[in-house]
Chain A
Amino acid sequence: MTDFCVDHLIPDHIAAFELYIPSKPDSELEKLYQCDRILRLNNNENPLGPPPEARKILEQFPPAKAAVYPSGDAWYLRQKLAQKHDKDPDQFIVGNGANELISFVIQAFCQKGDNIITADKTFAVYEWVAKFSGFEARLIPLKDFGFDPEGMIGAIDRRTKILFVCNPNNPTGTYWNETIFRAFMSAVNGEKIVVLDEAYFEFVEKEDFPDGMRLMAEYPNLVVFRTFSKMYGLAGLRIGYLAGSLRVVDVIRRTCVVYSVNTIAQDAALKAIDDENHILRTRRCMALARTYLKTELTRLRLPHIIGEASYVMIKLPMSDSLAYRKLMAKGIMIRSMTGFRFPNYIRVSLSTMEMMEAFIKAVSEIL
């Protein structure tokens, strides 16, 4: 049989698209890098894991439930979210992680010739989804490591449909305060959809940090993303949600793939959301790590940016991809930042003191 030639079937925007290759499983990496354990400081996972009540769901999940389809639209979770945020359940869409939600929003509002606007150095999935869906992604350079509101407003044209703002920004940890955000929303003037990605919302303790859920009442064009992957320690289950005005969410829902969120994820999220103690414990852990790293990185003379989220960006006097390999050989997995357009930077998740000390020891040895 001759090889099936697929080239003529591939759209140009897909042919030009960069394939994302996820990391191999830890056990495979341990073999390749010949280390006996890997400390994961690359994906900003919560070192404390899920809240206790969510753990019980995972431990006691009845196997028989696996044979039954989940709630197609996360019915109970949406009721719970509505109650928590004082909104209508129909203002929420639950998705298989933020990546799926980004895709829903772009598909709902963009058509051929449209564009989205975001920053050049931020969570890459906004840009990826737009590009592989055939839409232009206008990338505005960061200003002082933060989103540039004037630059974004200046890039808007007739075909702009969505502006994505990651607050706090991943990977820099910088954030817009409420004053900046309100000024931005006023400039957009309700003419475009603004997505406020608050994946790290629960980590931020600053008084002036804007709460998208609250501001939504004033801005019907605002869509807010939240996730259970970070603070709530459910990254392995892939579950997040978006919220917006009834009119906007009704449009987005038309593009949703129902049944994409599994039962155990919905049940665990339902229990996780009530645990305020878990948030406090995690914040304490992050604060300890932040203070320790500030001191140690200063001692090592390594330029760094510690923002409000659960990670730190560090500039190394070497290639970040080489640093990745050298640290992996010592069993420490960090995120190299060249792919985020920050050459020679690494991003390190804040974690337990034991993990932070292991990281500082390893990075000291490779410098």
Chain B
Amino acid sequence: MSKHPVLTLTADHSLLPVAASFVESTCKSSGFGQKETMALMFAAEEIFTYLSQFNKGVVMILSCQPKAYQMELTLKFDAQTFNLRAFNLTSSVDVTDESSLDVMGLIIASKMVDRFFMEQSGSNIQITFIKYRDYGKTAQCTYTPDQLTQPVVTRADTMETLVITQMIHESESDLPFELTLPPMASDMQAEGDLNALALKDKQGTIAGGLFWKRLSQNTVEIMGPFVYGQDQPGPLGEALVEKCLETIGKERVTGVLCRHYGTMIPEHCFEVIGHFAGQKVYFRQMQEDTGAAVWLHPSLEKEIKQQYESLFLPRNIIAIAQDQHPSNPYSVISTELNRSINRVVMHPLVMGQDALKNLESHLKLFQSEGYTDMDFELDLGQSDQGGWVPALIKTGFAPELLLPYGGKGDLLIMTCSIRNKADN
């Protein structure tokens, strides 16, 4: 049974005050400030108005899940009654006028929050908005560790996480968003959404750490190792990585990904599976790979096959038809917007005859919104997703990263970077 507040109501404009009031009162009672409360309330109003017109009369379940570091607003629908085209950020309320970008409720609502994503799981459709707690400005670090005597690696408590994140905030240039805000990292850990290791000695002197979090059902992301005053790989960084791998060794994890790391990363513990923003992406499988089937569009087959061979990944490659003619006239794309890192991730939901046009509209919208990094994730374990490849290639997407078992099967991340295009 859910322990957070839930409201069930019909998508009807007359009930807008009820939805807004529900969000406002939940935020306030959970100790969120006026700024966060108003942002989520406006997002809820916008999305409710949009959906009341696009899906009038549909039953929706609103839930607010407060956490120490964020408020999560979720709208759930039954997929059988929901008009999936509302998922396209470029859909306007007036379905006869797709060009009227000024009434696109989802994109307007998404501007109010830090993260926004949509997903379909079985018979459920879900739209999620996340607003982070406002932590203000990060305090200047005053912690400088002494030389460690007999260092050990232990699970870090939230106070130690605060110390480690303050320490690395000053010394590391490539940190994920959550580690740039020490109190947020500490709160995330308290909620169980972030894990941390501390490198310290028996006197309690802390000189480094490593963090990890779930990225998906199968994949964990490691952030680090970070060791104060060291800029070369060595036994301390290795000890942090090995302790982390031991800790998650028996959990439900197929692989670990490492995109944010210091100079101490023990490369031999990982494999390089590609590059992200010009930097190596490290990966490691946690289990023995006993093979999988992947569905590939012929235009990518040669390149991806080479990658599989270079990584020794056993895959049964099934080529899909070169030119597919989907029966559905309309395609649907779900989107994850992450304003804190200026990143868009798109996922194919429904393949349709208008795939190219739909994709172009989305790209145009994201460019106008100032997004520079746009990814499209194809689950190669799903036979129906390869049909998007021709449209992706035509709009400038190229394979960037192949993440083994990142989805139902391997996840191929294709990137269209406006910044890179401009640089070129």
Q: Which residues of A approach B to under 8 Å, CB–CB?
A: 2-3, 5, 18-19, 21, 23-24, 28-29, 31-34, 124, 127, 317-319, 321-322, 324-326, 328-329, 335-336, 338-344
- Cβ–Cβ contact A21 & B285, under 8 A: no
Q: Using CB atoms, name the residue of chain A closest to B80.
A: A2
Q: A128 to nearest B CB, angstroms?
A: 9
Q: Using CB atoms, name the residue of chain B closest to A128.
A: B250
- Cβ–Cβ contact B291 & A339, under 8 A: no
Given A24-B291, A124-B250, A319-B271 in contact, is the A325-B312 Cβ separation under 8 Å? yes
Which of B123, B284, B286, B314 is within 8 Å of A32, CB to CB?
Answer: B314
Tell me which residues across on chain B come within 8 A of A339, comparing CB atoms: 249-250, 286-287
- Cβ–Cβ contact A344 & B285, under 8 A: no
Q: Told that A32-B290, A338-B286, A339-B249 touch, could you supply 13 new A-B pairs with CB distance under 8 A? A: A18-B251, A19-B252, A24-B291, A32-B316, A318-B269, A319-B268, A321-B287, A321-B289, A322-B312, A335-B288, A338-B245, A339-B250, A343-B249
Q: B61 to nearest A CB, angstroms?
A: 15
Across the A-B interface, the 6 shortest Cβ-Cβ residue pairs = A32-B291, A32-B314, A321-B285, A343-B245, A325-B312, A341-B249
Which of A19, A321, A340, A341 is within 8 Å of B284, CB to CB?
Answer: A321
A293 to B245, CA, bound (A): 27
Given A18-B251, A19-B252 in contact, is the A321-B269 Cβ separation under 8 Å? no
Q: Using CB atoms, name the residue of chain B closest to A2.
A: B123
Q: Is B122 an interface residue (CB 8 A)?
A: yes
Tell me which residues across on chain B come within 8 A of A329, comparing CB atoms: 312
- Cβ–Cβ contact A18 & B250, under 8 A: yes
Given A18-B251, A329-B312 in contact, is the A24-B268 Cβ separation under 8 Å? no
A339 to B290, CA, bound (A): 15
Q: Using CB atoms, name the residue of chain A closest to B249.
A: A341
A319 to B288, CA, bound (A): 11
Number of interface residues of B (CB under 8 A): 29
Which of A127, A322, A340, A344 is within 8 Å of B271, CB to CB?
Answer: A322
Tell me which residues across on chain B come within 8 A of A318, comparing CB atoms: 268-269
A18 to B252, CA, bound (A): 5
Q: B253 to nearest A CB, angstroms?
A: 9
Q: Using CB atoms, name the residue of chain A closest to B271.
A: A322
Q: B286 to nearest A CB, angstroms?
A: 5
Q: B366 to nearest A CB, angstroms?
A: 34
Q: Is B133 an interface residue (CB 8 A)?
A: no
Given A2-B123, A341-B250 in contact, is the A32-B287 Cβ separation under 8 Å? no
Contact with A along B216-242 (1 / 0, CB 8 A): 000000000000000000000000011
A126 to B250, CA, bound (A): 13
A340 to B242, CA, bound (A): 12
Contact with A along B303-322 (1 / 0, CB 8 A): 00000000111111000000
Q: Using CB atoms, name the residue of chain A closest to B252.
A: A18
Q: Is B77 an interface residue (CB 8 A)?
A: no
Which of B268, B288, B315 is within 8 Å of A321, CB to CB?
Answer: B288
Given A3-B122, A326-B312 in contact, is the A319-B290 Cβ separation under 8 Å? no
Which of A18, A23, A127, A317 is within 8 Å of B288, CB to CB?
Answer: A23
Tell me which residues across on chain A come within 8 A of B286, comparing CB atoms: 321, 338-339
A257 to B288, CA, bound (A): 32
Q: Using CB atoms, name the residue of chain B closest to A336.
A: B288
Q: Using CB atoms, name the residue of chain A closest to B242.
A: A343
- Cβ–Cβ contact A344 & B242, under 8 A: yes
Q: A29 to nearest B CB, angstroms?
A: 7
